[in-house]
Structure 1
């Protein structure tokens, strides 16, 4: 087996061409394009048409928040493999008027009638990934209306109209989304889940191919109801009754009362200072503070001298990730149910103590620190008024639970899968509780002023991706686009907030473009090295240059989208 792994590594190192700039005369060899630079507004999304929708809203006088909602609604139609109104939402907003950051936790809670005893009686040690049981209250729609109520300028009817028009008239499906639809939709159909074929195929059997014109009139009607009736049309009207009745018919517990009681929560973003830059994330139930813990740990090393892509840098990054993620497994949970020791987890003193565990020469195993205490889309938009929004939205596991309520045009999320069923843990299942969340938006300020709005989608990879973007820019001097195009590092393994433990050192996945000499040295340091497709997330970012008064936009070469400004 060991010889086979070594052979595969040699094969991949020879056959996989590195990311390169195709004879560009400027920038790093792995950069795919230049940054987009504009004065009045910028939008970066994972779908070109969603980016154009956001720009149209900005040009019509809308705020960055209006444009982000419009883009998110469009993505829910065009990229149902990553998001939709059946899922949750998180956002960080820079409000130019007040000169401060706002955080919104738009995640939903578990059904109040579903208890831990139910899972015990059914003999389950893990919540299923699909079906009615992992469905929690979808929070995205309430998140839209909370954001719009505080920062919107245009009426919601105007904000949702582009997505409604595309849903009714159709749009051509892009390459990557067609690929994921081709993998996901037939699987859900084979599982016998109702309404999937009617919603996500053209002929009742086959998902759309690249370039096919796809329509979703049922989703258009749902959006029209929201435009006319506001968030209550979703949580207290006919839509809520259809959702609740359908889930209970399928053997689930989500009720009309669960939906009617839902509320988003405005929260204070939290930060650490990394080499003079304040990096902001949202507090749990999300995993954003793992990125901050990672940066605190790595600030103690001279990463610049190690060099990007060196075995020394990758080793220290992976070890810091393993340390931070053990804390993630033990302490991250809904703060309404568990007293998360935020101050300690984010302190420089705690980072120094945890950093001392890392062997600079060999891969290790770690446990959580002892503290006394109780598929996804990402987009970012900036406007002519100086407002910026960092927004992430997802159903989890790509399209979600497989539960498509009849006539509504969307699938419900399966975030409830991320609860632990082991008693006494921070993230143990309880009725009315928000599950541990992987999706996280990020923001950076410098000297109290907005500097960078960004995110990297991709499950457990997201905190690792956030930290790598910051390190690429601050330590390695990369541009906004280069920081996202650079070959990425992903470590899998270790303990999980769902209660699973892993005594191994895990596996390091390296994107193509890193030299075999680096791979060989990492193996000598005790790392298991592997390769994988599609696990490195998707990146969008906007940087504000206060001196030149321009926005820089960067998008994800691993996705279908782009950045655009005016």
Structure 2
């Protein structure tokens, strides 16, 4: 009888977490019949709505949102990088957009090591790859949109020229970084409009204007207008603006200013760079097709984790039970270990073993290596080469692989061979370094997922262009022991964390989703996806899921450190789940919001309508009609 009473109490305690919490959401879901636009800032979503209401398709709206988020410095500037997946209803296929810049001329491993740098720096002109977002924006619009560049840039131009009320998050971020901003010649005039006052940074609600950026937008619009006056087709007119940015007077000013600040850009670096339209990778999980961009970004890590988890009965374990959390955590670590070692720019030799990494057979072998009872803090990259009929050329490097992070950290350590480590706050800031996300969909079947980033505050402003430059070069390594496929070379793209997603069911687009948060991105997206597919949650419920994070993989930022065995849980996880995880060897910590700022759009085929979602972990939100 006493045991029966205890069981009732336990079930009563568990019920609010597994049932009631799965029903309630802090934010209401969005519903639309004609279109949905979701992104990192409400004003940017409004820009997408304006384009939809003018008759644009989801690509037109997404491009307008991209320009608006850059203008609002939503953890990116216009000189950053843009990664996108587009479902094309006419072709009935998913298309990848690679708008990531490259290392400039002279950016070699030897260059940085000769200056006492283990990796390229986190900030400044030497952190910048060539601007990718303007090119990606114009190529997406030219190839898959319907409107003119002038039309889709109109909201962003108005925001730059007339200004917009800056929000507290950005204003306070500028204030916190004011001393670094002052190190660069052209950045203070953009970010510190209150020079001479006690607070030089803007305050929340202040009208924030960017005259130089507005002038750059006008130059692009003018290039398009001139081409149209010459009776050039719409696509060619948009690409005339592209030409002006990368080979004309805008490029000239960017290069001049970067070199003045001590950077490495040349005119040839910008002129030779191109947006790549590519075939994405995909896998199937429980009948759902999941699409990710190629291995120059971390997206395939989610595909690998799904392949591993297909071997588990996650539903039978129960949502966020100790065994569920352990199993998903271990699968993520296995996949991320492969990311750390094998991913890189496919345009450069050696060729990454992606066929083996994404095979179901390799996933089964990794599943067989996984402990079902204890955390394995010594997880290393596997060997996918036999699964594609090859021999691994890097077995010696694999044997020396350190799960603690770059071996060079120990070589550079203090007396006694100690490894230099940043404090946890600095590590966390780098590990979860933000971006934004953009989702758009329309009733004609277009669906877009974009994860743009780079050029976040504090950013180097490229002369009088108003363009904030990327900080993405820090994602390279300089030693093959730290990842032989991602060693910096001129013209090479760094392996980045930015990871848009599209999922399909029965040959139709089902969902577009992405998230910000550095190396946690595919951890959050994996859990979001599983919450829907395995546990039938709605997009909004899944977007607010009480997620968990591993820090066992190497950070893509800063000193590329790792924290094996560390597990961040949501505060709502019950005590008995925490206790069981501790017995499995985890070092636990807790946070209030752990889903990441997920944004998503789902097509409800039965009702012929859309669901939109934005998590309760950030400012992201959307609008629908």
Q: Is the TM-score greater than 0.5?
A: yes
Q: Equivalent residue for 1:189?
A: 181
Bigger Rg, which one:
2
Counterpart check, 1:46 vs 2:40: yes
Structure 1 355/367 Cα, relative in aligned 2: closer, same or farther at 3 Å? same
Provide the secondary structure at the position in 1 that maps to 2:87: strand
Q: Is the 8 A contact 1:493 1:504 kept in 2?
A: yes
Q: Equivalent residue for 2:617?
A: 558
Q: 1:305-324: CA deviations, max 9, x gaps?
A: 22222111111111111111
- For 1:214 and 1:437, the matched residues in 2 are separated by 30
Structure 1 442/215 Cα, relative in aligned 2: closer, same or farther at 3 Å? same
Q: Is the 8 A contact 1:330 1:497 kept in 2?
A: no
Q: Is the 8 A contact 1:290 1:463 kept in 2?
A: yes
Q: Equivalent residue for 1:108?
A: 101
Q: Is the 8 A contact 1:35 1:554 kept in 2?
A: yes
Counterpart check, 1:266 vs 2:277: yes
Structure 1 259/274 Cα, relative in aligned 2: closer, same or farther at 3 Å? same
Q: Is the 8 A contact 1:199 1:410 kept in 2?
A: no
Provide the secondary structure at the position in 2 that maps to 1:382: strand
Q: Is the 8 A contact 1:390 1:453 kept in 2?
A: yes
Q: 1:391-417: CA deviations, max 9, x gaps?
A: 110006x436x3212222232001111
Counterpart check, 1:247 vs 2:238: no
RMSD, aligned CA: 2.3
Q: Equivalent residue for 2:381?
A: 368
Q: Equivalent residue for 1:198?
A: 189
Q: Equivalent residue for 1:407?
A: 464
Structure 1 182/300 Cα, relative in aligned 2: closer, same or farther at 3 Å? farther
Counterpart check, 1:68 vs 2:81: no
Structure 1 498/380 Cα, relative in aligned 2: closer, same or farther at 3 Å? closer
Q: Is the 8 A contact 2:181 2:460 kept in 1?
A: no
Q: Is the 8 A contact 1:461 1:536 kept in 2?
A: no
Report the Cα offset of residue 158 of structure 1: 0.8
Counterpart check, 1:508 vs 2:567: yes
Q: Equivalent residue for 1:10?
A: none
- For 2:22 and 2:598, the matched residues in 1 are separated by 18
- For 2:95 and 2:120, the matched residues in 1 are separated by 33
Q: Is the 8 A contact 2:476 2:486 kept in 1?
A: yes
Q: Which moved more, 1:380-389 or 1:151-160?
A: 380-389
Q: Equivalent residue for 1:449?
A: 508
- For 2:52 and 2:449, the matched residues in 1 are separated by 16
Provide the secondary structure at the position in 2 that maps to 1:90: strand
Report the Cα offset of residue 561 of structure 1: 2.9
Greater helix proportion: 2
Structure 1 387/26 Cα, relative in aligned 2: closer, same or farther at 3 Å? farther
Provide the secondary structure at the position in 2 that maps to 1:376: coil
Q: 1:445-493: CA deviations, max 9, x gaps?
A: 0111100011111100111111111101011211000000111211113
- For 2:560 and 2:78, the matched residues in 1 are separated by 33
Instruction: Write out aligned runs for 1:4-15 (5 A).
Output: none
Q: Equivalent residue for 1:93?
A: 86
Provide the secondary structure at the position in 1 that maps to 2:362: helix
Q: Equivalent residue for 2:412?
A: none
TM-score, length basis structure 2: 0.82
Alignment: residue pair count? 540
Report the Cα offset of residue 122 of structure 1: 2.1
Report the Cα offset of residue 522 of structure 1: 1.4
Q: Equivalent residue for 1:350?
A: 362
Q: Is the 8 A contact 1:458 1:536 kept in 2?
A: no
Counterpart check, 1:482 vs 2:573: no
Report the Cα offset of residue 533 of structure 1: 7.8
- For 2:24 and 2:576, the matched residues in 1 are separated by 18
Report the Cα offset of residue 203 of structure 1: 0.8
Provide the secondary structure at the position in 2 that maps to 1:359: coil
Q: Equivalent residue for 1:301?
A: 312
Q: 1:421-457: CA deviations, max 9, x gaps?
A: 0047110111110011110100000111100011111
Provide the secondary structure at the position in 1 that maps to 2:451: strand
Provide the secondary structure at the position in 1 that maps to 2:130: coil
Q: Which moved more, 1:309-318 or 1:201-210?
A: 201-210
Structure 1 555/200 Cα, relative in aligned 2: closer, same or farther at 3 Å? same
Q: Is the 8 A contact 2:543 2:595 kept in 1?
A: no
Structure 1 150/284 Cα, relative in aligned 2: closer, same or farther at 3 Å? same
Q: Which moved more, 1:533-542 or 1:487-496?
A: 533-542
Q: Is the 8 A contact 2:497 2:556 kept in 1?
A: no
Q: Equivalent residue for 2:290?
A: 279
Q: Is the 8 A contact 2:551 2:562 kept in 1?
A: no
Q: Equivalent residue for 1:173?
A: 166
- For 2:534 and 2:573, the matched residues in 1 are separated by 18
Structure 1 35/497 Cα, relative in aligned 2: closer, same or farther at 3 Å? closer
Provide the secondary structure at the position in 1 that maps to 2:464: coil
